Structure 1
Amino acid sequence: MKKMQRIALIGGTHGNELSGIYLVKKWLAQQTLKQWDTLDITARIVNPRACEQSVRYIETDLNREFGVGLDDMDKTGYEALLAKKINIEFGPKGNSPYEFLIDLHNTTSNMGACLMLQRKNAFTVLLGGYVKHRMPHANIYFQDNVPEEKQNFLLTVAQQGVTVEVGPQPNSVLQQETLGLMEEMTKHILDFVELCNSGTALEIPDEYDAFQYSENLHLPVNENGQREGLVSSLVDQKDFQPIEPGQVVMETFAGEKITWQGDYTAYPLFINEAAYHTSHSAMTLSKKIVMSCQDYK
């Protein structure tokens, strides 16, 4: 694998997700990044105004501003301009000198410690195995099959990027357990990069369980776009637990049960995510997969 030297560690993409913000602050104050002295790591809180106000964003979601409109000079909103600035500092997208970017996020959903990977290649597959071996409770999630036009996340600025997504944690709240999980996973990621660069033999299983994005489920709404139901208590807070075809996943306010109509066993995540209220998203669905590290070594 290609050596990775320049690395960006990003917190505060969303200003009310405090674990990433405070992990960056903590590591800068304690000079923790010196643990990986062979790596050139830049740590940054990228949306300071949103962080100051403890809101997800000021005008638009910064983590959706890195798509096809990134170079559109007619887009002049706060986060749109901020994305252009970030693209100059860490990009440009498609030709970035940064080999790797780690974006730190919290979710209100009960996802535990989740490593989200945008691609399937030797680096990401082996990284997933390395983290899973050291954090058996972690969830490894691939979304390399998300359509290219929706690959508009901040991490796409660098040559490769991953998201550390940890929850459940309420917005604008900092919790010791959640911060600890984020810190543990991020340390493992940086250890992996340093070991790969040095050519050290990696202790990685031959295979591991992971999850693959499949589709999204939305809450029922009426013709005026008003919600008419909610996520069933049978599913709520049970991220990455299987749901079978015909199983109840939502319920209308009138008491009608809404069942999963798919033809496969699904594993939901981002269940009842607070940030997705405007899109009426109920949950994202994934399929369980087995990743073979042997195929990528």
Structure 2
Amino acid sequence: MNKIKRLVIVGGTHGNELTGIYLVKKFERSPQLIQRSSFETCTLLANPKAYEIGKRFVDTDLNRCFQRQDLHNLNLSSYEAQRAKVIYQTYGTKGTLEANLMIDLHSSTSNMGLTIILARQLPYNLQLAAYLTSVNPNVKILYSEPQTLENPYLDSICEFGCSIEVGAVAQGTLNATLFQQTEELIYAILDYVEAYNKETPLRVQDTLMVYQSIRTIDYPRNATGEIQAMIHPRLQFQDYQALHPGEPIFLTFDGEEIVYEGDKVVYPVFINEAAYYEKGIAMFMTLPIEIATI
């Protein structure tokens, strides 16, 4: 693989996720923190208008606007669609500042801890993820394939990339511990890329344990789409914990338990994520698997 020449740290893909936004602002004030000798590091505040109004987005979710067919569709005129085109034309393939690696910073109202989200099982991505788990054993790796034919996520515009999802933190707020832990992960990524570029790659394990997303579950709803139950108290904030068949997952407003009816143990994540109510997602069901990093 060729060396990484340009890396982009992205914050504010969603305007109410402040961890990434304020890290980008910090790095812009003190660029020496993120510069390394063998590659250039850039920062990007992806959705400035959404940040200004304190909302996830202005017109539509920016992190679903990067399918190639959409980037080349002149009829898409929403703010986020236009913003996606600018970002792609700058940092995407053959862009004016073409990047090789993109790190997209997010935060979640779910108890995701420190999660690296991969949408592609490329060796470089896997080895980087394995290194981050060795630096901090609390890091979890979530493998989530896009549900569309093309990857719509911002980090897909580069050859390599991932998202860092941290939580639980309320929308529009900061959590100092998660802020500092995210910052340390970024420095670890930069150090890994530097070592790789200098042909002194840091040692990683041959296998990596990832949580593979297998499906999403929506809240129980009535015929008009109105929610009829809440996340069960026993499941709230239990991301990455085993859920067995027959255990409760929802509680109706009348106090009736609704149980998980699957036939095998799963590990839910993004449980009760506030931003996913509109997407019809109460949680992601995952299975832990070991994959080779080579």
TM bucket by the smaller chain? over 0.9
**Matching residue's letter, 1:285:** M
Distance 2:127 2:159 in 1: 17
**Matching residue's letter, 1:83:** A
Distance 1:80 1:217 in 2: 28
Q: How do 1:93-112 residues align onto structure 2 when only pairs under 5 Å count?
A: 97-112=98-113
Q: Is the 8 A contact 2:34 2:187 kept in 1?
A: no
Distance 2:123 2:106 in 1: 24
Distance 1:268 1:93 in 2: 38
Q: Is the 8 A contact 1:229 1:253 kept in 2?
A: yes
Q: Is the 8 A contact 1:96 1:159 kept in 2?
A: no
Gaps of 5+ in 2: none
Which residue in 2 is equivalent to 1:173? Answer: 173
Distance 1:175 1:32 in 2: 24
**Matching residue's letter, 2:112:** M
Cα displacement string for residues 72-113 of structure 1 (whole angstroms, at most 9, x for unaligned residues): 111111111111111111124899932111101111110001
Q: How do 1:1-297 residues align onto structure 2 when only pairs under 5 Å count?
A: 1-67=1-67, 68-92=69-93, 97-143=98-144, 145-149=145-149, 151-293=151-293, 296=294
Summarize the Cα distance change of 1:96–1:240 in structure 2 as closer, same or farther, 3 Å threshold.
Answer: farther
* Residue 292 (structure 1) shift: 3.1
Cα displacement string for residues 100-153 of structure 1 (whole angstroms, at most 9, x for unaligned residues): 11101111110001011111121111111100011101111112x434436211
Summarize the Cα distance change of 1:95–1:146 in structure 2 as closer, same or farther, 3 Å threshold.
Answer: farther
Task: Give the number of aligned pairs.
Answer: 293
Gaps of 5+ in 1: none
Distance 1:94 1:240 in 2: 38
Q: Is the 8 A contact 2:93 2:99 kept in 1?
A: no
**Matching residue's letter, 2:250:** M
Q: What's the secondary structure of 1:204's corresponding residue?
A: coil
Q: What's the secondary structure of 1:97's corresponding residue?
A: coil
Q: What's the secondary structure of 2:211's corresponding residue?
A: strand
Summarize the Cα distance change of 1:246–1:73 in structure 2 as closer, same or farther, 3 Å threshold.
Answer: same
Distance 1:14 1:81 in 2: 15
Distance 2:95 2:44 in 1: 21
Distance 1:89 1:201 in 2: 29
Summarize the Cα distance change of 1:262–1:30 in structure 2 as closer, same or farther, 3 Å threshold.
Answer: same
More deviation, 119-128/254-263: 254-263
**Matching residue's letter, 1:222:** N
Cα displacement string for residues 45-81 of structure 1 (whole angstroms, at most 9, x for unaligned residues): 1211111111111111111111232221111111111
Distance 2:105 2:216 in 1: 22
**Matching residue's letter, 1:120:** Q
Distance 1:274 1:186 in 2: 25
Cα displacement string for residues 182-215 of structure 1 (whole angstroms, at most 9, x for unaligned residues): 1111111121111111111422233342211111
TM-score w.r.t. length of structure 1: 0.93
Superposed CA RMSD in Å reads 1.9
More deviation, 176-185/95-104: 95-104
